[in-house]
């Protein structure tokens, strides 16, 4: 079994054991559009729209098996089912992103008790629309962020991008101690609906994906939440075409291989390996926040990691109430943990995003208040930046 790529240096000591600064993933802010479609409405639409489809009954059964009861859409369903062209759809993406992103950004900053001027890097993740310059430029220009703020748009990691954003924020805070990173996820999956795609995988996706936005701050010092301690990435060889976009005149066409539901047999050991590398034990972990692309992902993780279903309750709640919201899943599930009172001091947890590649982005860490290990006293001394490169703020 190949181990995931560990955090830089392949050290087996945890970051706090080496006396390194911590990065804390604070409470996310979540927003969903106001237009709602239920599973029953989805099934009725599938029956009506694809009445003559030779595999219609199979599709209906697969949609029911997802367990997705409600999804939120950025447009009313009547508009969602139309296809005005790629240009118009992308214009809708940009307009809606600019209208909705500021709210989640402000709330995420408030949750982390930070101001725009204290943010050193903005990571923006989205796979459902395209802008250049990235929305990061617009955020910096309109929301009071410093002109020196770094920008890191991630557009081609799909559902894994939420985990990747957390890991790149962690890496940045380790490289530049005391820095703060803002992560923003904006996913309008409904804008990728293609009425001419009638394969079973495409029709299933039409009943699975939803729209959502999220934001969270990773603080290099202080903050309450998950203290990030180690991260890793893993690419399953030979699976590049299992989840992909075909880019055509009509926009992004989502392609889903029938082998995708079985990927946890390959990725569960990756999670196990990273936990072992950190000196922890999966059965002793306190919380798991994972991308819920579908119910089988969660069922298989329970089986392969020998964990009770309760351990994935937050991810399952996200899937049930909002569907697969791509890179925002991990933030929505984490927000539910916060809503539930958070975890106990020093509780051990794992966050994982899965997506095209097939790619896994995994992080482990412990729960802390004010970014400190249990029983630790605050360090009141300013930390020197790594490599002599200082970041203002």
CA distances from 333 to 139, 225, 235, 347, 351 (A): 25, 13, 23, 17, 10
Asked if 250 contacts 90 with a C-beta cutoff of 8 angstroms, the reply is: no
Q: Cα separation of 36 and 352, whole Å? A: 27
**Structure tokens given for 61:** 């059964």
> Counting Cβ atoms within 10 Å, is residue 64 exposed (0-12), middle (13-18) or buried (19+)?
middle
Question: What is the band of 238 on the pLDDT scale with cuts at 50, 70, 90?
Answer: very high
Residue 366 pairs with which residues in a beta bridge? 227, 348
Q: Cα separation of 224 and 177, whole Å? A: 17
Asked if 139 contacts 109 with a C-beta cutoff of 8 angstroms, the reply is: no
Write the pLDDT tens digit of every residue in 162-213.
999 999 999 999 999 999 999 999 999 999 999 888 888 888 888 889 999 9
Chain-centre distance of CA 275, in angstroms? Answer: 20
Other residues' Cβ atoms within 10 Å of the Cβ of residue 168: 21
Active site residues: 159
Does the pLDDT at position 244 exceed 90? no
Select from 168, 152, 157 the least CA-distant residue to 23: 168
CA distances from 241 to 6, 109, 245, 256, 327 (A): 25, 38, 9, 8, 19
**Structure tokens given for 92:** 């809708």
The 3 state secondary structure assigned to 266-313 is: HHHHHHHHHHHHCCCCHHHCCEEEECCCCHHHHHHHHHHHCCCHHHHH
Residues 6+ apart with CB under 8 A from 287: 311, 314, 337, 343, 347, 348, 349, 350, 367
Mean pLDDT for 55-61 is 90
Residue 245 pairs with which residues in a beta bridge? 254
Question: What is the band of 254 on the pLDDT scale with cuts at 50, 70, 90?
Answer: confident
Write the pLDDT tens digit of every residue in 327-360.
999 999 999 999 999 999 999 999 999 999 899 9
Crossing angle of the two packed helices 161-175 and 329-339, in degrees rounded to 10: 80
Coil, strand, or helix at residue 144? coil
Q: Cα separation of 2 and 163, whole Å? A: 20
DSSP codes, 356-388: TEEEEEEEEEEEESTT--TTPPP--SPPPPGGG
DSSP codes, 168-217: HHHHHHHHSTT-EEEEEEEEEGGGG--TT--SHHHHHHHTTB-EEEEEEE
Q: Cα separation of 20 and 56, whole Å? A: 56
Question: What is the band of 371 on the pLDDT scale with cuts at 50, 70, 90?
Answer: low
Does the pLDDT at position 9 exceed 50? no
Does the pLDDT at position 393 exceed 80? no
CA distances from 148 to 120, 121, 137, 165, 174 (A): 8, 9, 11, 20, 19
Write the pLDDT tens digit of every residue in 73-132.
999 999 999 999 999 999 999 999 999 999 999 999 999 999 999 999 999 999 999 999
**Structure tokens given for 179:** 């820095």
């Amino acid at each position: 079994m190949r181990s995931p790529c560990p955090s830089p240096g392949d050290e087996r000591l945890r970051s706090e054991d080496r006396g390194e600064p911590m990065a804390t993933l604070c409470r996310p802010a979540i927003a969903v559009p106001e237009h709602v479609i239920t599973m029953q409405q989805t099934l009725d639409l599938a029956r009506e729209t694809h009445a003559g489809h030779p595999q219609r009954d199979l599709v209906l059964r697969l949609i029911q098996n997802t367990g997705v009861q409600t999804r939120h859409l950025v447009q009313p369903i009547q508009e969602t089912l139309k296809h005005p062209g790629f240009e118009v759809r992308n214009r809708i993406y940009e307009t809606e992103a600019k209208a909705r992103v500021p709210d989640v950004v402000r709330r995420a900053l408030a949750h982390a008790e930070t101001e725009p001027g204290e943010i050193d890097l903005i990571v923006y993740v989205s796979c459902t629309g395209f802008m250049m310059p990235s929305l990061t430029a617009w955020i910096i220009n309109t929301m009071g962020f410093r002109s020196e703020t770094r920008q890191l748009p991630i557009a081609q990691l799909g559902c894994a991008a939420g985990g990747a954003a957390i890991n790149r924020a962690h890496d940045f805070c380790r490289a530049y101690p005391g820095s703060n990173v803002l992560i923003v996820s904006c996913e309008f999956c409904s804008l990728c609906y293609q009425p001419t795609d009638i394969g079973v995988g495409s029709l299933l996706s039409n009943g699975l994906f939803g729209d959502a936005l999220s934001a969270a701050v990773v603080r290099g010092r202080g903050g309450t939440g998950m203290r990030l301690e180690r991260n890793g990435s893993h690419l399953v060889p030979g699976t590049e075409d299992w989840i992909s976009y075909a880019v055509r005149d009509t926009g992004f066409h989502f392609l889903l291989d029938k082998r995708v539901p079985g990927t946890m047999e390959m990725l569960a050991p990756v999670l196990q390996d990273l936990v072992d590398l950190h000196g922890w034990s999966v059965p002793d972990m306190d919380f798991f926040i994972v991308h819920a692309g579908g119910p089988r992902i969660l069922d298989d993780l329970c089986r392969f990691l020998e964990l009770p279903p309760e351990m994935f309750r937050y991810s399952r709640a996200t899937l049930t109430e909002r569907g697969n919201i791509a890179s925002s899943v991990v933030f929505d599930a984490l927000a539910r943990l916060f809503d539930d009172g958070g975890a106990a001091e020093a509780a051990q947890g794992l966050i994982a995003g899965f997506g095209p590649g097939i790619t896994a982005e995994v992080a482990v860490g412990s729960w802390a208040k004010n970014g400190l290990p249990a029983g630790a006293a605050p360090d009141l001394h300013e930390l020197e930046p790594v490599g002599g490169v200082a970041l203002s703020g």
